Structure 1
Amino acid sequence: MTAMRENHGKNYNLRDEIKAYWSARAEKFDLSPGHEIFSEDERQAWLALIEKHLGKGNGRAALDLASGTAVISHLMDDAGFKVTGLDWSETMLALARAKAKQRGRDISFRVADAENTMEPDASYDVIVTRHLVWTLVDPTAAFTEWMRVLKPGGKLLVVDGDFVNVGFSEKLVKKLAAWLEKIGVLKKEPSHAPPEMAGKHEEILSQVHFSRGARADDVAALLRHAGFEAVMIDHDLKKIHRAQARHLSFFKATARGLQHRYAICATKPL
């Protein structure tokens, strides 16, 4: 049993650990490229990806799962969808509501578990998630739940990646960057995660379903098993990554470009 679980009693489980981790990350979440959007080029690249897979919004109902500080919710709103954001972290949602108010956006936010949304049956035209699937404790239950709340013919867009398996090239880039930092040639990049959370990410990752990495083919297979049709894997996220790279160091941008990142679009049968 982990120290965190011991501190919160025997009923404190992995889902609570995940909630606590992201709540602790909330304050500085938007400071990181790849979390918030820092350029119009990146915003347009995201909008192109959304339209490619989900089409025009035209006021259709969209559910942003694990909405965090509402970066994707705002993109969906830009694309013309009527957006509801769900997140398990009240801290994240407080920031999301403040951001929406500041920008004058009509987006609803509610506290909910992505694996048990409590939303009505067949109530959404589309569902979108970013960097959620790799954290799921029970993806089969989650995908079944998402199928339930989608309307017949509704679409799911998953944007995620395998952040566990590091290829040879990525390892080489990271080792070179670490060595250059060690000898003082390269300035160490600031971390936006609280120091006390060091190691917590790896501890949580070791316990989730995709602890060995959320590979696109494995996620797609589970979606098909849950009943989704027309499951398509899209690895062409280059425009998004190029735009993000302008706000990252050369080595970090290079390493990110070598990672197994993808979008998956799937459809609920009619």
Structure 2
Amino acid sequence: MTDVHSSNYSLRDEIREYWSIRSETFDLSVGHEIFSEAERRGWHRLILRHLGRGEGRAALDLACGTAVISHLMYDLGFAVTGADWSEAMLSRARAKAAKRGSDIRFIMCDAENTMEARGSYDVIITRHLVWTLVDPRAAFAEWYALLKPGGKLLVVDLNQDKKTWVSLLRTSLAKITGKPTTGMDDPDLVSRDRRIRSQLFFSKGMTAEAVVPLLEEAGFTAPIVDRKMHDIHWAQARRMTVLRGLDRLLQDRYAICVTKPAA
């Protein structure tokens, strides 16, 4: 394992290594992979509501992981590029696309500095990426530059640190039973997760209302905050234990859609 105390080992390196390890079980988790047609339809409705049908338009799925969102976009007719900083995630994404016969392009890059051509995408979508960013201002400026005039960005995320009464109950029960609430059994991974979270820009929580001003600072306009995602979360909750499912329904999860002004 990499020495996390090495002077040449940055927080970004640790994030990449952490998610590379998580790639091994990523698709086993509800909320990562999709396990029902009801959830798939819910995602399609969300995307259509904000981005419309693809009709061959260029879409970038940032932090694509194993390409769950990439395939949702592909279903709707977008020409999809999936980008991730973890080669382990991309390896699984490429294997999944090959198995499904999906014509999705995959690239390895840093979401804050993609090295992609400026003005090359009609839409950008991210799921559960923004809360992990070290420098969201740099990332948002990069995404703004990648979009064509009139292009749209759809951010799907959550306020990780807002605790519901259910999450507090689960934490209390975990102290009694000794069972983790994170879904991870490896104490090292749990420790690394906490260490990474404590150093992130949004380490104290990430409301949609905190993200929108940063997006506007980057030049985006017409922000729409959408919390009407109950069809997705209900479909996910039905695949979870009772307490985890109830917690999912009560969490502050949202989508933010913003637009790059037309030239």
Give the TM-score taking structure 2 as reference length.
Answer: 0.94
The answer to whether the 8 Å contact 1:47/1:75 transfers is: yes
Pairing of 1:143-162 with structure 2 (within 5 A): 143-162=140-159
The answer to whether the 8 Å contact 1:28/1:193 transfers is: no
1:122–1:16 CA distance, 2 compared to 1 (3 A): same
Per-residue CA deviation, residues 84-127 of structure 1 (Å, 9 max, x unaligned), is 01100000000000000000000010100000010101000000
Per-residue CA deviation, residues 31-85 of structure 1 (Å, 9 max, x unaligned), is 0000000000000000000000001110100000000000000000001100001
The answer to whether the 8 Å contact 2:26/2:32 transfers is: yes
2:255 and 2:211 map into 1 onto residues whose CA distance is 11
Does 2:38 align with 1:41? Answer: yes
1:250–1:164 CA distance, 2 compared to 1 (3 A): same
In the other structure, the counterpart of 1:204 is: 196
The answer to whether the 8 Å contact 2:94/2:106 transfers is: yes
Shift of 1:171: 3.8
Which of residues 113, 123, 130 is equivalent to 2:110?
113
What is the Cα-based RMSD across aligned positions, in Å? 1.9
In the other structure, the counterpart of 1:57 is: 54
- Could you list the runs of 5+ residues in structure 1 that have no partner in the other structure? none
The answer to whether the 8 Å contact 2:174/2:181 transfers is: no
In the other structure, the counterpart of 1:141 is: 138
- Could you list the runs of 5+ residues in structure 2 that have no partner in the other structure? none
The answer to whether the 8 Å contact 2:170/2:181 transfers is: no
Number of equivalent positions: 261
In the other structure, the counterpart of 2:218 is: 226
2:169 and 2:99 map into 1 onto residues whose CA distance is 40
SS in structure 1 at match of 2:32: coil
1:60–1:194 CA distance, 2 compared to 1 (3 A): farther
> Which amino acid counterpart does residue 91 of structure 2 have in structure 1?
A
1:193–1:129 CA distance, 2 compared to 1 (3 A): farther
Shift of 1:228: 0.2
In the other structure, the counterpart of 2:174 is: 178
Does 2:1 align with 1:5? Answer: no
Q: Percent identity?
A: 56
Which of residues 82, 89, 92 is equivalent to 2:79?
82
In the other structure, the counterpart of 1:236 is: 228
Give the TM-score taking structure 1 as reference length.
Answer: 0.92
The answer to whether the 8 Å contact 2:85/2:108 transfers is: yes
SS in structure 2 at match of 1:27: coil
